[in-house]
Structure 1
């Protein structure tokens, strides 16, 4: 391993190894939990402002990268013969129960039964808005052993109660799908934390995914604060044809700054990993931060202007919207 940051396990729990991480104080956390989020418009207004489209699940691309946003951090990404889901959640809420979770204010654009063939799922960490047990069960019922799950180290036991094809990885470790062995799935760092209850706090790792195929590459940041790991990822695996980077749930910064990037930091990750194009995720679905529900779009535009980038370099999608990228590059290479 050259100059990269390895995961750190201390007293049975994983810790963030960067100086950019700081633990949340009890007082700050309690104040944040007791502060109400912005009141959302009516469902009719949301249908106009944030429409939910019917996804384009036609044939996978013969060239390029096809990406469909399914809400929050859930994407369907198809390239080099593989179809990949990221942190899928199709439930109406995220949390241990509906009364103690966050309700979805934009519905999922499809059901699990309406998905095309899926070869792999990548999971960034164990939080409820990124790892949803009902969705895991539905995907397993639909695809069974034909679907391989790539998860952080420490989560395999949780998955084996529900699914069979599970690969758990530490930072910088890689594996593949047997039927598509030329596409490498590498678990890479992020700055965050894990836990679904008091007893499993940071018992499993968290991270991002760098997925490298023979013709294209894709980076999934998952859920993260900003740290120097992204420069390391860029040096080792960049440039990426497409990156999925979070842009929401970032205020107040005193509470969420270490664990959730804001749009300027998301743009910096785009630059650090040398992404040719990036799509904004982790917004527009659950109210997890105190910024306005359209603030991620507004702040991203400002950040792009300041970095002299455009919405072609770093774009957002409507719920259910599909976009085909890098097709011209494939054609030029033929």
Structure 2
């Protein structure tokens, strides 16, 4: 069977992504509660799709870092309390989650965790203000994807590609946001990948499909300002580089071109 028939991908709101195989799913950076974002990122521009699991489906949730648009504490606490479900994180933040009432399974960079039909591996990523941040590789039968929360451009793309690539899908932020907040000297450098940088990352990662995330839902100048026409720029840059790129709306399935079978898959 092909990967499209055995595993489904869905883009959730903002940076959220769902990978589902039968009655088990992995969600990365799922977001449902946005009250804590109002002062910096503003209110969401539209209603966000629900992320409730269908009856009988177990959820394993992962976060790339602790910024509140990627770390929904209330949502994660509920998932952690569900029998058969779990929360996963990079080891340096496990104590922070525990103190917030979210028990989590920690993983070191490069450490592989297997559960049900899935395996996850955290790999290097870089945050604009130096906070702990990782990218998550998710493997399922016939499929390998990688999710970058809101990374900036960095020098670890090539090592990730050598160690873990190629990828069927790379989920990449494209908003290229400019930020202004107390305690940080303002600059004109983007705090996330620009559309063009996201495409170049997909090239290095040897991703069969590049999927845009982390754009269009929040825009709150002058504190949090998305660059212009990011979706169009992303698709045009990908076309120029010969990359299959998609930008599904919130809650929509992610169409992709399967590339490789994940290690150990039949």
Residue by residue over 1:2-25, the C-alpha shift from the partner in whole angstroms, topping out at 9 and shown as x without a partner, is: xxxxxxxxxxxxxxxxxxxxxxxx
How far apart are residue 176 of structure 1 and its match? Answer: 2.3
Per the alignment, residue 218 of structure 1 pairs with 145
Q: Is the 8 A contact 1:219 1:244 kept in 2?
A: yes
Q: Does 1:228 align with 2:155?
A: yes
1:266 to 167, 182, 198: 198
Per the alignment, residue 28 of structure 1 pairs with none
Query: Counterparts of 1:113 and 1:79 in 2: how far apart (Å)?
Result: 12
Query: Counterparts of 2:110 and 2:260 in 1: how far apart (Å)?
Result: 28
Per the alignment, residue 13 of structure 1 pairs with none
Instruction: Give the TM-score normalised by the residue count of structure 1.
Output: 0.66
Which segment is superposed worse, 232-241 or 205-214?
205-214
Q: Does 1:290 align with 2:222?
A: no
The answer for unaligned runs of 5 or more in structure 2 is: 180-185
Q: Is the 8 A contact 1:64 1:326 kept in 2?
A: no
Q: Is the 8 A contact 1:243 1:270 kept in 2?
A: yes
Q: Is the 8 A contact 1:246 1:280 kept in 2?
A: yes
| Residues 62, 110 of structure 1: alpha-carbon distance in 2 compared, 3 angstrom cutoff | same
How far apart are residue 266 of structure 1 and its match? Answer: 0.2
Instruction: Give the TM-score normalised by the residue count of structure 2.
Output: 0.81
Q: Is the 8 A contact 1:193 1:206 kept in 2?
A: no
| Residues 321, 154 of structure 1: alpha-carbon distance in 2 compared, 3 angstrom cutoff | same
Which segment is superposed worse, 147-156 or 109-118?
109-118
Q: Is the 8 A contact 2:32 2:75 kept in 1?
A: yes
Per the alignment, residue 126 of structure 1 pairs with 66
The answer for unaligned runs of 5 or more in structure 1 is: 1-60, 195-200
How far apart are residue 94 of structure 1 and its match? Answer: 4.1
Query: Counterparts of 2:241 and 2:114 in 1: how far apart (Å)?
Result: 35
Residue by residue over 1:80-135, the C-alpha shift from the partner in whole angstroms, topping out at 9 and shown as x without a partner, is: 8741111011014443xx45663111221115366872431111011111001222
| Residues 94, 88 of structure 1: alpha-carbon distance in 2 compared, 3 angstrom cutoff | farther
| Residues 75, 118 of structure 1: alpha-carbon distance in 2 compared, 3 angstrom cutoff | farther
Query: Counterparts of 1:282 and 1:116 in 2: how far apart (Å)?
Result: 29
| Residues 326, 116 of structure 1: alpha-carbon distance in 2 compared, 3 angstrom cutoff | farther
How far apart are residue 192 of structure 1 and its match? Answer: 0.8
Structure with the bigger percentage of strand: 2
Per the alignment, residue 41 of structure 1 pairs with none
Q: Secondary structure at the match of 2:78?
A: helix
Query: Counterparts of 1:243 and 1:116 in 2: how far apart (Å)?
Result: 28
How far apart are residue 62 of structure 1 and its match? Answer: 7.7
Query: Counterparts of 1:139 and 1:256 in 2: how far apart (Å)?
Result: 36
1:303 to 234, 237, 240: 237
| Residues 215, 82 of structure 1: alpha-carbon distance in 2 compared, 3 angstrom cutoff | farther
Query: Counterparts of 2:257 and 2:14 in 1: how far apart (Å)?
Result: 24
Query: Counterparts of 2:201 and 2:259 in 1: how far apart (Å)?
Result: 25
Query: Counterparts of 1:308 and 1:137 in 2: how far apart (Å)?
Result: 42
Pairwise CA RMSD of aligned residues? 3.1
Per the alignment, residue 12 of structure 2 pairs with 70
Structure with the bigger percentage of helix: 1
Per the alignment, residue 107 of structure 2 pairs with 169
Q: Is the 8 A contact 1:112 1:138 kept in 2?
A: no
Residue by residue over 1:48-88, the C-alpha shift from the partner in whole angstroms, topping out at 9 and shown as x without a partner, is: xxxxxxxxxxxxx8835422121110111124874111101
